[in-house]
Amino acid sequence: MSENETISEISNLIQSSLPKLVAVVDDEPDIVELVSLNLQKAGFKVKSFNDAEGLFRFLKSTVPDLVVLDLMLPDADGYEICKYLKKEEKYSSIPVIMLTARSDEMDKILGLELGADDYVTKPFSPRELVARVKAVLRREEKPQKTQKIKISDILEIDQQKYEVTVEKNKIELTSTEFRILKLLAERKGWVYARDQILDYLGVQEKGVLDRTVDVHIKNLREKLGPAGRFIKNIRGVGYKLEE
């Protein structure tokens, strides 16, 4: 192991031992207090906000490990906040759990399509929300066997940096799109059913949300351009990645 690799490994170990910082954004003080208290009891650091303005001021100086985001804020729409976070390079890898009173199926689908990592409806169990936060962060922290995956001579996936390049040009993906691509690329030629992909993403209510996989794949292919052809649709089954 080189000196740089040793330093990087030590740095990663130090970072993994520090309490994770969760930003909680909700305009209901009781909800903020409830969520914050339960997250702190579970060992998390918490920074809470009652509006989008406070969150964005905070983001100028600090990048949290996860955001719990209410969709109905007084000064901004939660969907637009999520969309912005996932498009900005500095914030795109931050997991987002949407917290809302909206329980309609299309609301959930829209949130997931915008890159949200999970969706919790009010009223909710604080213990369940803490469990969801832990589950999402575990997915983000899983150690990688190899840092880079190369497909043909045009597509490269850097698992450590969460970066994808096609013909050496960086491609901006949401965290959900990145994880789907990574899943398919890690075992080239393996066919993954939609349910398997949703299980990997940690998405609930798979029967309702199966079709969101097709939307993510469509968006992923478009963003990958010439490399999009590597993602194959196996009719009636699911998807695979093949050169």
Contacts of 95 (CB under 8 A, 6+ apart): 65, 66, 67, 117, 118, 136, 137, 139, 140, 175
- Identify the CATH number of the domain defined by range 148-241: 1.10.10.10
Kindly report, residue by residue over 118-129, the tens digit of the pLDDT: 888 888 899 999
- Identify the CATH number of the domain defined by range 3-141: 3.40.50.2300
The pTM of this model reads 0.60
Kindly report, residue by residue over 131-144, the tens digit of the pLDDT: 999 998 987 665 44
Domains of the chain, residue spans: 3-141, 148-241
Give the per-residue pLDDT at 9. 46
Q: Are strands 231-234 and 238-241 parallel, antiparallel or unpaired?
A: antiparallel
